[in-house]
Amino acid sequence: MTASDPQPSPTARESSTSLPLLDAPEHVLSTLEADGSRRWLRPRLSTGDLWKRRRIVAYALIAFFVALPHLRIAGKPPVLIDILAREFTILGHTFLPTDTLLLALAMLFVFVVIVATTAISGRLWCGWGCPQTVYMEFVFRPIDRLIEGTVGKGGKPKGQVSAGRSVLRIAIYLVICTVLAHTFLAYFVGTDRLAGWLTGSPFTHPVAFLVMAGVTALMMFDFLVFREQMCLIACPYGRFQSVMLDRNSLIVAYDEPRGEPRKKGKHVTGDGAGSCVDCNRCVDVCPTGIDIRNGLQMECINCTQCIDACNDVMDRVGAPRGLIRYSSQDAIDGKPQKFLRLRTIIYPLILIALSAAFVTVLSTKYAFDARLMRGTGNPFYRTNDGQVANRFRLRLTNRTEETRNYRVTAFEPAGTTVTFTEVGEVSLPKGGSELLSMTIAVDPKVIKNGRADVSVTLADDLENERVVTAQILGPR
């Protein structure tokens, strides 16, 4: 259609409020009707080979998600994002807020993995591993079919659902979402602390109780009301795929040259029709409500339900499988599919470099952190013996798994006096951090143009050392 062609006129209809509604002249979101109202999807279930494999993967992932917080590596959970203690534990290693470089490298690594995986295998994560898809398609939709019943092998309920069945469905949803919320919370507070909260009164930990209740409510809203719209509206990943995919990326694709033109019923050789019998089974089973025959679409989550449904129909009509299959845009167009290409070579090299940098930084990590900051008040003052003194604040952080004692062991220039706590040392528990007062005084002779550089060496009881530097201010 060109700019000079007449535009289709929207069709006016009457709404329930007697106001005219305009039908959209073009395709709208798959979960919306033409008038903008919600289109509730009840996809049919196609139990083909790919669905059976996805079911195994899904239940394995659910078991892994539930069990992971309860496992221990070196006495620690494999993954713990302890917000209260400001610690992040992964695979037995604990990282503190001062590990900003390690955190940045880890985030870059995850980002490149996502981009590389999408470039090679498309939206494999969305269809096989995303918690939204796993729980929606293998936990909550089966509950809907079990309680509400289905017409044949379809997804629509058998007539009007009774109030009792609806209440039962919501109650089961609530129980599952509560368990999921507690499991989710265990990743942030740990199972030991969570167990204590569960056995105690909510009034002793109101914030945690409100967080758990809020997460449960959000999950109920997501799986009961929002559902597939999480993938279509809220999740940005589908929109990113246009940047991360190329014509050789693996996608769920309809073989248009083979399937067109469509014709209903069993085809006869030589009738000029394509393999597609226009049964709409691929549309009926789609959990996001799209027609895969319209080409690559943002709403497609690569769940492979359309592949299973189409293969079943092809078997029935005696045609070869694969009208809808895992492929690429170039392969569908008859061009050779290239696995080795510039992107698939560069991404692994970047991942190797990031991994090497992460391991290097991790292996050279200090046993404790020491950071010297200038104190408040007068910039300098004179002591009774004539030295020029400055007040500082020392932030000490114990990065080990045991209690450590710290003391000052050396300083420069000669004649410098360092006052470090009343007893000359401080003890910190594992992962502990403390802000301490420190006074550094120097001979006025070492001060040039109102300044003097000093260094202080701190050590723990295992003789691990850190050197901190500071600039002493004094009279000009």
* Cβ atoms of residues 445 and 416 within 8 Å: no
Where exactly are the structural domains of the chain?
19-161+228-365, 368-473
Q: In this predicted structure, which of 256-265, 422-431, 460-469 has the lowest mean pLDDT?
A: 422-431
Question: What is residue 2's predicted lDDT score, i.e. its pLDDT?
Answer: 41
Long-range contacts of 11-18 (CB under 8 A, 24+ apart): none
Is pLDDT at 119 greater than 80 in this prediction? yes
Amino acid, single-letter form, for residue 90 = I
- Considering the segment(s) 368-473 as one domain, its CATH architecture is Sandwich (2.60)
What separation, in Å, do the N-terminal and C-terminal C-alpha atoms of the chain show?
81
Give the β-pairing of 368-374 and 433-442.
Answer: unpaired
Angle separating helix axes 237-244 and 100-121, nearest 10 degrees:
70
Long-range contacts of 371-377 (CB under 8 A, 24+ apart): 371/395, 371/468, 372/438, 372/456, 372/468, 372/469, 372/470, 374/470, 375/437
* Cβ atoms of residues 96 and 398 within 8 Å: no
Q: Determine the 3-state secondary structure of 355 from DSSP.
A: helix
* Cβ atoms of residues 247 and 122 within 8 Å: no
Report for 51-55, 106-110, 397-401: range of highest mean pLDDT: 51-55
pLDDT category at 9 given cuts 50, 70, 90 is very low
Is pLDDT at 288 greater than 90 in this prediction? yes
Written as six digits, the tokens of 104 are 């940045």
Q: What is the DSSP letter of 445?
A: G
Around Cβ 406, how many Cβ atoms within 10 Å? 24
Residue given tokens 């951090």 in the structure block: 433
Q: Determine the 3-state secondary structure of 250 from DSSP.
A: coil
Written as six digits, the tokens of 133 are 């898809």
Taken in order 224, 240, 345, 90, is the CA torsion positive or negative?
A: negative
Is pLDDT at 18 greater than 60 in this prediction? no
Is pLDDT at 151 greater than 50 in this prediction? yes
pLDDT in tens, 175-212: 999 999 999 999 988 888 888 888 888 888 888 889 88
Is pLDDT at 8 greater than 50 in this prediction? no
Q: In this predicted structure, which of 213-217, 336-340, 469-473 has the lowest mean pLDDT?
A: 336-340
Mean local confidence (pLDDT), 53-63: 97
Is pLDDT at 242 greater than 80 in this prediction? no
Is pLDDT at 243 greater than 80 in this prediction? no
Is pLDDT at 374 greater than 50 in this prediction? yes
Distance CA(31)–CA(349), nearest Å, equals 41
Return mean pLDDT, the chain: 85
pLDDT category at 351 given cuts 50, 70, 90 is very high
Is pLDDT at 6 greater than 50 in this prediction? no
Mean local confidence (pLDDT), 357-381: 85
Alpha helices in 68-99 (DSSP H): none
Is pLDDT at 276 greater than 90 in this prediction? yes
Question: What is residue 263's predicted lDDT score, i.e. its pLDDT?
Answer: 83
Mean local confidence (pLDDT), 214-236: 93
Distance CA(251)–CA(248), nearest Å, equals 9
Mean local confidence (pLDDT), 52-75: 94
* Cβ atoms of residues 306 and 292 within 8 Å: yes
* Cβ atoms of residues 122 and 249 within 8 Å: yes
Q: Determine the 3-state secondary structure of 344 from DSSP.
A: helix
* Cβ atoms of residues 43 and 284 within 8 Å: yes
pTM of model > 0.85: no
Is pLDDT at 406 greater than 80 in this prediction? yes
Percent of the chain with pLDDT over 90: 34
pLDDT in tens, 306-318: 999 999 999 999 8
Mean local confidence (pLDDT), 62-85: 89
Distance CA(140)–CA(43), nearest Å, equals 13
Mean local confidence (pLDDT), 362-388: 85
- CA 36 to centroid of chain Cα atoms: 31
Question: What is residue 159's predicted lDDT score, i.e. its pLDDT?
Answer: 67
Q: How far is CA 347 from CA 336, 353, 409, in A?
A: 22, 10, 47
Is residue 258 classed exposed, middle or buried when 0-12, 13-18 and 19+ CB atoms within 10 A define those classes?
middle
Question: What is residue 26's predicted lDDT score, i.e. its pLDDT?
Answer: 60
